[in-house]
Amino acid sequence: MPEPGLAPLRAPSRTTLRWRLTLVYGAVAVTVGLLLLVLSLVLVERALSVDFANSRGVGVQLPSGQRLTFDAFQAQLRGQAMSRLLSQGLLALALLGAIRSSAQIFGCEARRFQVVQGLTERLTTYADMALEAVNAGDVIDEVGGIERIETCAHFLELIDAKDAARTVRRRVAVAGGPRVAPGTASAAA
């Protein structure tokens, strides 16, 4: 419970700036696509609705005995063309949205993979150098050095470089063990 006179803490927003911008750009793309589709429908409707002079009442007798006038035939063709244009336009818009989103995902994923590889290389190199310094006795605070190396292993886990983190942790487990003075034989030998 907050103290009197202090405003209650607000929970941090779960949406990031990148997510909000993605939603805005996606909405803009959908809106522009729909506007272009409506514009093309209007233009096609206008082009197909031209009345031909002296075409009223002109028609043909079908083999079924039904009379088909030019106006009815034109209206039927216009309806078919408009429905086909609408369905194909919506399909094209949906495909464009799917391609756009997958291109963004794969493009971002490729960049993320490059960043993870670079970070993994830097963190493991730092851990190797720090472990060499700890094992050589070149650090003033051995415990602090090992804690920093364990922090590197934690960072490696955070970026999903689990194998590298496991390797660093294994090396930390044996780091700073008993040192053998130069010129003396180890107890194991």
pLDDT value of position 182: 47
Joined tokens for residue 133: 């310094």
What digits encode the pLDDT tens for the residues 165-182?
A: 999 999 988 876 554 444
The pTM assigned to this predicted structure is 0.42
What digits encode the pLDDT tens for the residues 88-116?
A: 877 777 776 666 666 556 666 677 778 88
**Closest to 150 in 3D by CA, of 122, 178, 131:** 131
Joined tokens for residue 179: 């040192």
Strand partners, 59: 69
What digits encode the pLDDT tens for the residues 44-83?
A: 877 777 665 556 667 777 788 888 777 777 778 778 888 8
Q: Please tell me the distance from the alpha carbon of residue 132 to that of residue 41, in angstroms, as a whole number.
A: 71
DSSP label of 162:
H
Does residue 189 register a pLDDT over 50? no
Q: Please tell me the distance from the alpha carbon of residue 39 to that of residue 85, in angstroms, as a whole number.
A: 12
Q: Please tell me the distance from the alpha carbon of residue 180 to that of residue 17, in angstroms, as a whole number.
A: 55
149 contacts 175 by C-beta, under 8 angstroms: yes
- Specify the amino acid at residue 41: L
Domain ranges, ordered by start, for the chain:
17-51+58-174
Torsion angle in degrees (nearest 10) through CA of 7, 13, 16, 17: -50
Taking each helix axis from N to C terminus, what angle separates 142-158 and 162-174, rounded to the nearest 10 degrees?
160
